[in-house]
Amino acid sequence: MNILVAGACGQLGREMREVAPLSGNRYFFADRKDEEGVERLDICDAGAVKEMLARHGINVLLNFVAYTDVEGAESDEAAAFKVNAEAPGMLAEICRETGVFLIHISTDFVFDGRSSLPYLETDEPSPLSVYGRTKLEGDRRILASGCDCLIFRTSWLYSRFGNNFIKKIRTLCGSHDSIKVVIDEIGNPTNAADLAGFIFDILEDGSFRGHRGLYNYSNEGVCSRYDLACAVRDIYGLDCAVRPCRGSEFPTKAVRPACSALDKSAVKRDFSIDIPNWRDSLEMLAVDEMLAVEN
């Protein structure tokens, strides 16, 4: 089976590149950035996408590309809409026409965060930001296309690669005696390595073919941004006071969901998987980084 990873230079794409050598399948990697082993591809260019799918005989397309600058999207809705909505819809139409299976990544930001319970896939979305609205439109266009697809909504993604909340907190704790972190934003931190590993496994065993539609996937357990920052400080042994505050102390252009925890019952049932707790996965990240330094 031939698999194309679009967005290979992002957090999830980089994690997929780490596990791909273990596969019996053939992986191809593409992105708009120049990196060794990665082909250039703009997923907004239908002709380029069709050419690459045909040239490599692609059976499965993993779309990890997204406009993820939540603040930037508020000022440039057109760019966010092009990448998050128009491009996924176009990819879905191409996949339907060519018989390619599409796996797409979405977000908890499609919800307004007003629920007191973790969100199910069947709950009505109500995004508060341009980022959330454009991602939701991408989901809808893919599902409406009729292509064979799986959409995984995830949240608070972090990894060894790229920029993310974990790295930001480590930097701040390493350079400040104390920091403030919001306590009124609650969700599921997700190690990109866990999500990449899950997608890798369902491709390897073929179980992806037996399912279609929308699923939630994030690490288990719920915490606030403040709780997560404290865990980062403690796990990495940093000497910094982390103080809770409300989001109103850090006004932003984009409104974020207050509580966007995701219910993973469906993905655990349908794919017979166990999902790690967020703190366990954060500790594993720290261990992996320490081993990498030693080697």
Active site residues: 131
In whole angstroms, give the CA distance from residue 247 to residue 196.
31
> Can you tell me whether residue 96 is helix, strand or coil?
helix
47, HSE (Cβ side, Cα atoms, 13 Å) = 0
In whole angstroms, give the CA distance from residue 171 to residue 98.
46
In whole angstroms, give the CA distance from residue 101 to residue 58.
9
Cβ count near 291 (within 10 Å): 9
Kindly give the residue spans of alpha helices, DSSP state H, lying in 26-163. Answer: 46-56, 70-75, 77-81, 87-98, 130-145
Cβ count near 146 (within 10 Å): 11
Q: If phi over 0 gives left and psi between -120 and 50 gives alpha, with beta otherwise, what is residue 155?
A: beta
DSSP assignments along 162-226, one per residue: S--HHHHHHHHHHH-SEEEEESS-EE--EEHHHHHHHHHHHHHHSGGGG--EEEE---BS-EEHH
Residue with tokens 């069709």: 50
Task: Give the CA distances from residue 236 to residues 125, 173, 283, 293, in Å, rounded to whole numbers and listed in that order.
Answer: 36, 10, 9, 14
> Can you tell me whether residue 48 is helix, strand or coil?
helix
Q: Would you give the distance in Å from CA 174 to the centre of its chain?
A: 26
Cβ contacts of residue 77 below 8 Å, gap of 6+?
130, 134
